[in-house]
Amino acid sequence: MAKIAVLGAGAWGTALAMNISQRHNVSLWARNAGHVSGMRKARANPLYLGDFKFNEQLQVEDDLQTAINDADLILSVVPTAGFRSILKDIKALGSTLPIIWANKGLEPQSAKLPYEVALEELGNPQVTGQHWGALSGPSFAAELVRGLPTAVTVAATDEAFSNQAALLIHGANLRVYNSTDVIGVSVGGAVKNIMAIAAGISDGMGFGNNARAAMITRGLAEMTRFGVALGAKPETFMGLAGAGDLILTCTGQYSRNREVGLQLASGKSLSDILQGLGHVAEGVNTTAEVMRRAYTMQVDMPITYQVDQVLSHGKSAKDAVVDLLGREQKAEAY
């Protein structure tokens, strides 16, 4: 039996911790001492995940050193905006434990994907010997914690470590595949949130199933173009971390990013939507950063452009969809 340190006690971090604790010892860390105290008393995470009870192999910590002591693997599930900070904290403690992250999106301001942040903060694993990678795929915390079947991908540049990490996390109702395409898995987890906002806008405007299917398909083409430009493998986007996560996020009832799109279509302001959401919708912060990088790399991303116009430049949801539909006729490109 191994020990896994799960950092970040939001809905997804808690669901992963609870699932893994069926097979291993788990320390679930949160920065907020009040949140930790509440979870210890309830033996659950009522703030983010209702009254699903923790088992005896799951311990809750607010001290990072205690959480990672004697761990075999760190699983970071803090939001992307705080990812660099937690890597710095881990490094400051002198830890060289392998790290898998499950956060998605791009870092605000720098527009860097999590693997680029890890490369800067932890160094190249082939040089340092400290391995790291990404976990992503179609996964709602509410379904995983209820014991419903879920499949995800773990990607690391080192194939042996990728397989080892996947084996540690795999089990019960959680199926884990392994990959070496860290770039593709990271891009899929980031860009699909933008497409979910677009799908939500389309659904909210009442444009129907045909339009949603077109949005998903063309969104997959954008995601693939962007990823390949960064060095990803095209086939990754046909898998769980690409098409799988995209389809779920654009259609699922628990999708926070789709919900943002639905409410934008109803005329609500973005600030009111985010205030009422109660959870992080990574696509909101990711859109502007992806658009900026796409412009620099000269990658055509018309859906992302229109979502950015709505989120950051005051364009109405209706006008954005009309402009997408009004683009000139062309051959279908991938």
What is the set of active-site residues?
Answer: 192
Q: How far apart are CA 152 and CA 240, in angstroms?
A: 6
3-class DSSP assignment, residue 40? helix
Q: Quick one: which of 146, 151, 252 has its CA closest to 193? A: 252
Whether 310 and 320 have beta carbons less than 8 Å apart is answered as yes
Between the alpha carbon of residue 286 and those of residues 121, 150, 191, the distances in Å are: 21, 25, 8
What's the rounded Cα separation, in Å, for the pair 70 and 65?
10
Q: Is the dihedral of CA 182, 332, 195, 296 positive or negative?
A: positive
Joined tokens for residue 227: 């990823």
Per-residue tokens: 300:
């055509």
- In the structure encoding, which two tokens stand for residue 18, read together? 């609870």
Which residues, at least 6 apart from 89, have a Cβ–Cβ distance to it below 8 Å? Answer: 64
Sequence-ordered alpha helix ranges (H) in the chain? 11-20, 33-42, 46-49, 64-68, 83-92, 114-122, 125-128, 141-144, 159-169, 182-204, 208-230, 245-251, 256-265, 270-277, 282-297, 302-312, 317-325
Q: How far is CA 10 from the centre of its chain?
A: 12
